[in-house]
């Protein structure tokens, strides 16, 4: 798959499904993730005839990592440029965590382009606990040890039910993180700084004109349900749903429930 050039920065992207379909959907990654994190989610949309687009933000694993900080507006503008290069003018947006925050900024800046927005385990403002978690991740990045990084951050993002039932997953993921290059951690630090300095957008949420679905894991201790409730209260045309038994990474912990909720919401708000 070719890279898209945003200025001088290469943006890795993938397309799946029917490129000629009028139904366009983009999935926007969490901060530590890459396009592969959506593998349990996007195939259901392909089967229903959607044209699916995924990409890594600058600073993430497969994209370029220019010096930062960045801004959420920059991420949104680069996503818009990517979509336009693919002939996509209007799109359903689904974002988790950092990607949900980019999705909100996109809907604020480009209301004519956002058909709907589904926001998973995201925030529009900070509290001291969340800021402390992010500071801890930045410290772990300084070690440039993938296994220690994963083991250090995992309890803050995965729910207790998932951790108890899936010990092999955590063993395998820790091993996989050993293979991450030093550039990954450099990009992560930039993205964490971007998040802390630029995520405040509650006052702008009233500008989102499209239908919005706000979802949050009931056991999310990182971006707690109170943050999703704030988002839902401030977006005029929104629905709010809690996912019981899920921590912060609902796209891995409860993929079937997530697909069901988002598909229903999007089909209800699509031309179909």
3-class state of residue 11 by DSSP: strand
Is 89 a member of any domain? yes
Within a domain: residue 162? no
**Any domain includes 188:** no
pLDDT score of 3: 80
Q: How far apart are CA 54 and CA 71, in angstroms?
A: 19
Evaluate whether residue 260 is within a structural domain: yes
Domain region containing 17: 3-126+199-268
Q: For position 56, which CATH number holds?
A: 3.40.50.1820
- C-alpha span between 119 and 207 (Å, rounded): 15
Residue 271: per-residue pLDDT? 59
The per-residue pLDDT for 2 is: 66
Q: Which residues pair with 164 in a beta bridge?
A: none
- Taken in order 269, 98, 31, 173, is the CA torsion positive or negative? negative
Which tens digits make up the pLDDT trace of 99-155?
999 999 999 999 999 999 999 999 999 999 999 999 999 999 999 999 999 999 999
Alpha helices for the chain (secondary structure H): 42-47, 72-85, 98-109, 128-143, 146-157, 160-165, 167-177, 182-198, 225-234, 250-253, 255-268
Residue 212 within a domain: yes
Q: What is the pLDDT of residue 1?
A: 55
This model's pTM is above 0.85: yes
Residue 46 lies in a domain: yes
> For position 68, what pLDDT does the model report?
87
Q: Taking the CB of residue 62, how many other CB atoms lie within 10 A of it?
A: 17
Ranges of the chain whose pLDDT falls below 50 = none
In a domain? residue 138:
no
- Does 232 map to a domain? yes
Number of folded domains in the chain? 1
Give one word for 87, left, alpha or beta, with left for phi > 0 and alpha for psi -120 to 50: left
8 A C-beta contact, residue 78 and residue 11: yes
pLDDT tens across 167-176, in order? 999 999 999 9
């Amino acid at each position: 798959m070719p890279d898209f050039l945003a200025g001088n920065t290469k943006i890795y992207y993938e397309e799946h499904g029917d490129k000629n379909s009028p139904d366009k959907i983009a999935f926007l990654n969490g901060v530590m993730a890459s396009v592969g994190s959506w593998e349990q989610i996007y195939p259901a949309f392909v089967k229903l005839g959607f044209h699916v687009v995924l990409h890594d933000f600058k600073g993430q694993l497969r994209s370029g990592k220019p010096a930062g900080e960045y801004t959420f507006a920059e991420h949104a503008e680069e996503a818009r440029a990517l979509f336009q290069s693919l002939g996509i003018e209007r799109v359903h947006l689904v974002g988790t965590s950092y990607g949900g925050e980019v999705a909100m900024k996109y809907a604020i800046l480009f209301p004519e382009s956002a058909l709907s927005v589904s926001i998973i385990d995201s925030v529009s403002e900070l509290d001291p606990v969340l800021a402390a978690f992010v500071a801890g991740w930045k410290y772990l990045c300084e070690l440039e040890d993938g296994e220690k990084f994963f083991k250090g951050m995992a309890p803050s993002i995965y729910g207790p039910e998932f951790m108890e039932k899936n010990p092999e997953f955590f063993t395998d993921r820790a091993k996989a993180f050993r293979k991450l290059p030093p550039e990954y951690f450099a990009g992560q630090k930039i993205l964490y700084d971007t998040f802390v300095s630029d995520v405040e957008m509650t006052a702008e949420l009233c500008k989102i004109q499209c239908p919005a679905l706000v979802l949050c894991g009931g056991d999310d201790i990182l971006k707690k349900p109170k943050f999703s409730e704030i988002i839902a209260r401030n977006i005029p045309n929104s629905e709010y749903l809690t996912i019981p038994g899920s921590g912060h990474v609902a796209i891995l912990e409860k993929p079937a429930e997530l697909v069901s909720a988002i598909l229903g919401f999007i089909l209800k708000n699509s031309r179909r």
